[in-house]
Amino acid sequence: MSKIMRTTRASTTALFVGQRGHRKMPSALSKQLARFVRREVGVTIHAHLMRHLAAHLYLIANPGDYETVRRLLGHKNIETTIQFYDGLQTDNAYAVYDTLIGKMRADATAPRPPKPRSSTDGFDEGDLL
């Protein structure tokens, strides 16, 4: 017969909580995350790399919004964030530009509706003389 562990579940502000109701230590959470991703996806990753991935994905969806990334990552200086992630924005800039060019090309080749006929269509000024 197995023992049942009884714990008192006090309220906590921690996002990640262990089985005993206490917050998980960063190193334990990092190791668990790495094992989970390796098992499920087959990629070796760690918590710090997940921070970079989160920032990169956010900037893909919100180009140039370094202030939000700065706050998410806890950087004190916006220059730290810009220096690290600005180079990653180049690919995103090309993708946005490619989308713009594709839209412009599609608009240029799209069939145009016929122009409305005016009452003077078919008349030449010489016909009135």
CB-CB contact of 51 with 30 (8 Å): no
Q: How far is CA 22 from CA 9, 14, 35, 66, 120, in A?
A: 9, 8, 21, 33, 84
Residue linked to tokens 């992630």: 85
> pLDDT at position 93, please?
79
Higher pLDDT, 12 or 69: 69
- Over range 92-100, report the average pLDDT: 85
The model's pTM: 0.54
State the Cα–Cα distance between residues 118 and 111, nearest whole angstrom.
21
What letter represents residue 87's amino acid?
A: G
Distance of CA 30 to the CA centre of its chain: 22
State the Cα–Cα distance between residues 35 and 45, nearest whole angstrom.
9
- What helix, strand, coil percent values describe the chain, rounded to 5? 60, 0, 40
The tokens for 114 are 């016929």
Question: For residue 1, is pLDDT > 60?
Answer: no
Angle at 30 between CA 27 and CA 35, to 5 degrees: 125
Which DSSP letter does residue 19 get?
T
- Over range 52-79, report the average pLDDT: 92
Question: For residue 129, is pLDDT > 90?
Answer: no
Which DSSP letter does residue 104 get?
H
Question: For residue 50, is pLDDT > 80?
Answer: yes
- Over range 46-73, report the average pLDDT: 90
